[in-house]
């Protein structure tokens, strides 16, 4: 059964003043199914206008990286004069469910809300690898949404990578995977790198406190289950938005022609019958122009919800298939991924899915 809400559901955004939280607000302000019921920030920001917090954080990034490297994102005027609320306000704000982008250190707030019966769609690393919490990219494993209260979407690189690996694995099987990432500065949110590490430079993340390589490997294996040996190398580069990833695959069955892969990607759209508002018409956009995809040109296909794939080759002497892709790390890889999970949950299980889950939890 495919369903759409007859009345907009009210969502609270936990971590609303952070970079991903600000994207959540933009995506929800005119959403046809959901509406913003509460923007929850830290104790420092609560009570302030959302505009003032937004503009202060964007300006801090411009001041740090310089106008040549960072363009401040203007406040979305549709958000009006809304003020930042408190965590304690959730219970009294007639909230149907939660979107969250809090840091892992604040994950206890997510757990408290789940224990109180709320459904939480989260981009936070907290609880991402617990067996009890599904890690969902709906084109790939939407069946794991059913009956759950805590639904995570994965790291931004993983969100794009599984869209590629899923159809290739189904069609040809996989023996070996190797990826190298060049990840944008916004992947770290409002936290700032020392400029000398990333501006006009490449900063390898291996062994850093970010644990990005470990996260990607674990996330992909959690989503796709049985997977072949997997090598990951990650670096940060001086790009504002959009991660660029080089992918090299050995397949179990031979790929006879490049046209087979082009057709496989062009026709891949497992959500085409659900009509979820954030679902892209083509999750994989194939770019044939030489020198593409590039983050500045290709991070916003289908409003940032599609990945752009290019550089497709089956002529490598080591690997069966080579390609590169760009994923929008703040939309498909973060806020948009969580919103799409919520939409698919409604579309597949009915508009009262969340209320049934809350009632059962009480």
At 361, is the pLDDT very low, low, confident or very high (cuts 50, 70, 90)?
very low
Predicted pLDDT at 362: 41
Predicted pLDDT at 228: 79
Angle ∠(133,138,143) on CA atoms, nearest 5: 65
Least trusted range by pLDDT, from 89-103, 123-137, 310-324, 348-362: 348-362
Nearest to 260 by CA among 189, 313, 305: 313
Provide mean pLDDT across the span 261-273.
Answer: 96
pLDDT at residue 352 above 70?
no
For residue 321, the SS3 value is strand
Element (H, E) at 58: helix 50-65
Q: Residue 148 is encoded by which pair of tokens? A: 């759950």
Strand ranges (E), 184-259:
202-204, 230-237, 243-251
Predicted pLDDT at 355: 54
Predicted pLDDT at 360: 41
For residue 154, the SS3 value is coil
pLDDT at residue 168 above 80?
yes
Q: Which residue has the higher pLDDT, 280 or 103?
A: 280
Calpha distance 206→256 (Å, rounded): 36
pLDDT at residue 163 above 80?
yes
Gap between the terminal Cα atoms of the chain: 27
Give 114's Cβ-side CA count (13 Å radius): 20
pLDDT at residue 131 above 80?
yes
Strand partners, 309: 286, 325
Predicted pLDDT at 281: 94
Predicted pLDDT at 4: 64
- Whether 9-154+335-361 shares its CATH topology with 156-328 is answered no
Provide mean pLDDT across the span 14-42.
Answer: 96
pLDDT at residue 132 above 50?
yes
pLDDT at residue 356 above 70?
no
* Average predicted confidence (pLDDT) for the chain: 93
Q: What percent of the chain has pLDDT over 70?
A: 95
At 173, is the pLDDT very low, low, confident or very high (cuts 50, 70, 90)?
very high
pLDDT tens per residue across span 54-98: 999 999 999 999 999 999 999 999 999 999 999 999 999 999 999
pLDDT at residue 275 above 90?
no
At 127, is the pLDDT very low, low, confident or very high (cuts 50, 70, 90)?
confident
Predicted pLDDT at 359: 44
Output helix, strand, coil percentages for the chain, rounded to the nearest 5. 35, 20, 40
CATH architecture of 156-328: 2-Layer Sandwich (3.30)
pLDDT tens per residue across span 226-260: 777 899 999 999 999 999 999 999 999 999 999 99
Q: Treating both helix axes as pointing N-terminal to C-terminal, what angle do 336-349 and 19-28 enclose, rounded to 10 degrees?
A: 40
Residue range 9-154+335-361, CATH number? 3.40.50.720
Measure Cα distances from 67 to 73, 96, 203, 251, 294 in Å: 12, 40, 21, 44, 20
- How is the chain split into domains, by residue range? 9-154+335-361, 156-328
Q: Beta-carbon neighbour count of residue 3 at 10 Å?
A: 14
Provide mean pLDDT across the span 115-121.
Answer: 94
């Amino acid at each position: 059964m495919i369903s759409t809400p007859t009345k907009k559901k009210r969502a609270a955004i936990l971590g609303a003043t952070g970079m991903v939280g600000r994207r959540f607000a933009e995506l929800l302000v005119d959403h046809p199914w959901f509406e913003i019921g509460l923007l929850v920030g830290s104790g420092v920001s609560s009570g302030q206008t959302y505009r003032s917090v937004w503009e202060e954080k964007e300006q801090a990034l411009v001041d740090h990286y310089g106008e040549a490297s960072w363009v401040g994102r203007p406040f979305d005027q549709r958000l009006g004069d809304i003020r930042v609320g408190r965590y304690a306000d959730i219970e009294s704000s007639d909230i149907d469910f939660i979107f969250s982008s809090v840091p892992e250190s604040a994950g206890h707030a997510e757990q408290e809300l789940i224990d109180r019966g709320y459904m939480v769609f989260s981009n936070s690393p907290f609880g991402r690898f617990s067996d009890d919490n599904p890690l969902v990219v709906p084109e790939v494993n939407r069946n794991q949404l059913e009956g759950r209260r805590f639904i995570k979407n994965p790291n931004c690189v993983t969100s794009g990578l599984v869209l590629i690996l899923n159809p290739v694995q189904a069609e040809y099987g996989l023996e070996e995977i190797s990826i190298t990432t060049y990840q944008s500065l916004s992947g770290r949110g409002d936290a700032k790198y020392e400029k000398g590490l990333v501006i006009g430079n490449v900063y390898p993340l291996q062994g850093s406190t970010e644990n990005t390589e470990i996260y990607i490997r674990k996330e992909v294996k959690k989503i796709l289950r049985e997977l072949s040996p997997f090598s990951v190398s990650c670096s940060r580069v001086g790009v504002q938005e959009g991660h660029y990833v080089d992918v090299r695959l050995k397949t179990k069955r031979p790929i006879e022609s490049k046209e087979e892969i082009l057709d496989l990607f062009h026709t891949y759209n497992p959500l085409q019958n659900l009509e979820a508002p954030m679902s892209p018409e083509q999750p994989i956009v194939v770019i044939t122009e030489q020198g593409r995809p590039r983050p500045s040109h290709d991070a916003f296909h289908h409003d940032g919800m599609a990945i752009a794939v290019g550089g497709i080759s089956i002529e490598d002497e080591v690997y069966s298939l080579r390609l590169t892709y760009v994923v929008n790390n703040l939309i498909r890889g973060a806020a948009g991924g969580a919103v799409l999970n919520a939409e698919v949950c409604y579309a597949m299980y009915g508009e009262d899915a969340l209320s049934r889950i809350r009632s059962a939890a009480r």
